[in-house]
Structure 1
Amino acid sequence: MNRTTRVDRETKESKVHVEVDLDGSGRSDIATGVGFFDHMLASFARHALVDLTVATDGDTHIDAHHTVEDTAIVLGRALHEALGDKQGIRRFGDALVPLDEALVQCAVDVSGRPYCVHVGEPDGQAYVVIGGGTGAAYPGSLTRHVFETLAFHAQVAVHVRVLSGRDPHHLVEAQFKAFARAFRDAVAPDPRETGVPSTKGTL
């Protein structure tokens, strides 16, 4: 089963190239111009055991929003394409991931029905700015938007629940790691599943 794909998308705001191998080893080559987002995508790849290449050229001279959003759109589409007809997968996955003081729960259903529930971030997390330097800074408000965008374009249901945390970096990273582990379980082959894991016969 070849679960690989490459997707390109170009607009006046960004040019995005993504390559995905769902049965990889967690290798990544990420360059979006938003350093902290690169770190989060590399973390997703490593803990989902997805080989991931992302090259984004976006209007970071304005801010990080278009670049992050458009990268999430293309990544979601790539994950959807790589899953193919979804035969033989587990479909559901969940994870509870700590990162020092932060604790995040994530559940994923590769349902074909996009939905995102994102709750529990501390008051003020949306207004925190992380990183910067040689790249665009990452505003905390983008985290929910990334998961909403991934859910829509990958056509999966994603529930992210932040249970505790204080450090803004840890709060975001724990969410990406929890999503990675839940997604990894959901798309893993199930040796007992001979078809599509749905009473409808399709996902």
Structure 2
Amino acid sequence: MRTARIERKTHETDIFVELNLDGTGQFDVSTGIGFLDHMVEQFSRHSLIDLTCRIKGDLHVDQHHTTEDCALAIGQALTQALGDKGGIVRYGHAYSPMDETLSRVAVDISGRPYFVWKAGFTQPRLGEMDTELFEHWFHSIAQTAGLTLHIELLYGANNHHICESIYKGFARAMRAAVEIDPRKQGAVPSTKGILGG
């Protein structure tokens, strides 16, 4: 079973994350930030990764710690569930249209974190969430999951559509990348024999 469980408690956040890479996209998400819940739910549903993510954070300060630690914990769980990454496809990409918006996301589960963000928003908040935190969420998950992650907004106008298009694209790219390729017969997809380093 490619599953993981992360429990993490600091002075800033108290987090419980559980996931199953071979799920059906079932989710139970509660971060205290409504729009972040919506995006993490989109990630679970469209990646088919079952995900429980419950966070109690210091939202009386701001949303930064909750958003960051949400991504860090999910990234840690992805790393744990992937193990030595034997047999995975490794690469995934997706074009994600949503009405007038089109995003492109490409991912390599390389074990070497690298993040490229070519997107932006024209308003400071979506719901109660600061839009500057979305870039930070993806940067944080790339770090702890060991992803080479490239995200581009090709075009779009509606800020809600832009954000949702990016999360759905990330989900579809990850769905492809974590799949087991039967032709690989469990081999780690690298000529080095390991991923990372």
TM over 0.5: yes
* Residue 153 in structure 1 maps to residue 149 in structure 2: no
Structure 1 residue ranges, 4+ long, deviating more than 4 angstroms after superposition: none
Q: Which residue of 1 aligns with 2:115?
A: 116
What is residue 166 of structure 1 aligned with on the other side? 157
Q: Report SS of the residue matched to 1:192.
A: helix
> Is residue 130 from structure 1 mapped to residue 126 from structure 2 by the alignment?
yes
- The reply on whether 1:6 has 2:5 as its aligned counterpart is yes
Give the gaps of 5 or more residues in structure 2: none
Name 2:43's counterpart in structure 1: 44
Report the CA distance between 1:126 and its aligned residue. 6.7
Distance 1:159 1:103 in 2: 14
CA distance in 1, matches of 2:94, 2:26: 21
Cα pair 1:7 1:77 within 8 Å, conserved = yes
For residues 62 and 169 of structure 1, the distance between their equivalents in structure 2, rounded to whole angstroms, comes to 25
Determine the C-alpha separation between the residues in 2 that align with 1:129 and 1:49: 28
Offset, 1:120: 3.2
From the superposition, tell whether residues 130 and 14 of structure 1 become closer, same or farther in structure 2 (CA, over 3 Å).
same
Show the counterpart of 1:64: 63
Q: TM-score if structure 2 supplies the norm length?
A: 0.96
Aligned residue in 2 for 1:101: 100
TM-score, reference length from structure 1: 0.93
In structure 2, which of residues 168, 193, 196 is the aligned counterpart of residue 201 of structure 1? 193
Distance in 1 (CA, whole Å) between partners of 2:176 and 2:126 is 29
**Counterpart residue identity of residue 94, structure 1:** H
* Maintained 8 Å contact 1:126/1:139: no
In 2, distance between residues paired with 1:68 and 1:80? 19
Aligned partners of 1:127 and 1:100: how far apart in 2? 19
CA contact (8 A) 2:93 2:107 kept: yes
Q: Distance in 2 between matches of 1:190 and 1:55?
A: 32
1:19 CA displacement: 0.2
Secondary structure of the corresponding residue to residue 197 of structure 1: coil
- CA RMSD between the two structures: 0.9
Deviations 1:97-119 (A, max 9, x none): 00111110000101010011010
Q: Distance in 2 between matches of 1:120 and 1:62?
A: 27
Across the two proteins, how many residue pairs are aligned to each other? 194
Asked if the contact 1:126/1:141 (under 8 Å) is kept, the reply is: no
Cα shift at 1:5: 0.6
Percent identity between the aligned chains? 48
